[in-house]
Amino acid sequence: MNNVVIRSSGRYLPEKVISNDHFAQFLDTSDEWIQERTGIRERRFAGPDEKNSDMGTAAASQCLERAGLAADDVDLIICATVTGDRIFPATANFIQENLGNHSAWSFDVNAACGGFVYALSIAYGLLASGINKRALVIGSEKMTSILDFTDRATCVLFGDGAGALLLEAVDPADNPQGFGIKHFELGTDGSLAYKLWQPDGGSAHPPSPDSLLRHGHYVHMSGREVYTNAVRKMDQIVEDVIAKAGFTPEDIDWYVPHQANKRIIDSVRERLGMPEERFVLNIDRYGNTTSATIPIGIDELYTDNKLADGQKLVLMTFGAGFTWGSTYLEWGYPPAGGGAK
Question: Is residue 113 flagged as an active site residue?
Answer: yes
Name the residue type at position 340: A
Distance, CA of 82 to CA of 145 (rounded, Å):
10
Give the residue from 138, 168, 160 showing the smallest Cα distance to 59.
138
Candidate list 2, 63, 132, 258, residue with the active-site label: 258
Contact call for residues 291 and 317 (beta carbons, < 8 A): no
In sequence order, what DSSP letters do the residues of 110-172 get, joined into one string?
--GGGHHHHHHHHHHHHHHTTS-SEEEEEEEE-GGGG--TT-HHHHTTB--EEEEEEEEEE-G
Tell me the C-alpha distance between 55 and 46, whole Å: 9
Active site includes 288? yes
98 CB burial (10 A radius; 0-12, 13-18, 19+): middle
Q: How many CA atoms lie within 13 A of 187 on its CB side?
A: 19
Catalytic, out of 3, 113, 132, 217: 113
Tell me the H-state helices in the chain: 20-24, 31-38, 52-67, 91-99, 115-128, 152-155, 209-213, 223-245, 262-272, 283-286, 293-303
Kindly report the length of the chain. 341
Q: Looking at the DSSP assignment, which residues form a beta bridge with residue 188? A: 323
What is the number of other CB atoms lying within 10 angstroms of the CB of residue 332?
Answer: 18
Exactly one of 2, 110, 261, 288 is catalytic; name it: 288
Amino acid type, 78: I
Pair 167, 144: CB distance under 8 Å: no
Burial of 304 (0-12, 13-18, 19+ CB in 10 A): exposed
Which residues are part of the catalytic machinery? 113, 258, 288
